Chains A and B, each alone.
Chain A
Amino acid sequence: DAKTTQPPSMDCAEGRAANLPCNHSTISGNEYVYWYRQIHSQGPQYIIHGLKNNETNEMASLIITEDRKSSTLILPHATLRDTAVYYCIVRVYSGGYNKLIFGAGTRLAVHP
């Protein structure tokens, strides 16, 4: 299974962009990168995913390097409510089925 490496914690000022890095150097050509976040005591929440191209939705942008060995999640204007643990996941596809294996994540603290 492709593994991911994320910094354990990061800080960001409210209103500024939060850039969360992730390394996935062993990713296979057909494996997607997913980002989830978990706000304290809640279930993980889907943010965004991508394969090769950069992606953007109403929550965030995902930048994937050309070699696909790393990616960056960008929260363009972080708010206090974005304080959470952010998980970068490489979706495992095996035997015709998918599963999401979570790592330790990055604990993002957004401060005033």
Chain B
Amino acid sequence: DAGVIQSPRHEVTEMGQEVTLRCKPISGHNSLFWYRQTMMRGLELLIYFNNNVPIDDSGMPEDRFSAKMPNASFSTLKIQPSEPRDSAVYFCASSKDRGFGNTEAFFGQGTRLTVV
């Protein structure tokens, strides 16, 4: 398996533009997570999907952020309009679980977003 695939790896955009980050989870995994990492705040959980349904979006910073998972093999995180403070590395992770038991989450390589 190729692992969790994120695209693009790097994105530079101007303030006010729309940005869409993409994630392909590992086949067969039923949970998907979006994280954001900055020097100041570390790794923050933004949103969590289970079986394509958003379960917990309490970490989404504000209405400018939205996430979708139209099917089991694809998810997007959109920022509109983007602001310089959104500059960060965004990670997607997936796991196969529900309830107790093994929850080994696999992370993608991340998308480094720079908003100028």
Contacts and interface: CB of A to CB of B under 8 A. Distances in A.
Contact of B31 (A93, A98, A101): A98
A81 interface: no
Nearest to A47: B104
Interface size on A, as a range, is: 20 to 34
Given A97-B98, A98-B31, A99-B48, A42 B109 contact: yes
Query: Is chain A's binding surface mostly helix, strand, loop or mixed?
Result: loop
A96 interface: yes
A97 B56 contact: yes
A102 B110 CA distance: 16
A104 B42 CA distance: 6
Contacts of A34: 103
Interface of B: 4, 31, 33, 35, 42-45, 48, 50, 55-56, 91, 93, 95, 97-100, 102-110
26 contacts: A34-B103, A42-B109, A42-B110, A43-B107, A43-B108, A43-B109, A44-B93, A44-B107, A45-B107, A49-B103, A87-B43, A91-B103, A93-B99, A95-B55, A97-B50, A98-B95, A98-B97, A98-B99, A99-B33, A99-B56, A100-B45, A100-B103, A101-B45, A102-B45, A103-B42, A104-B42
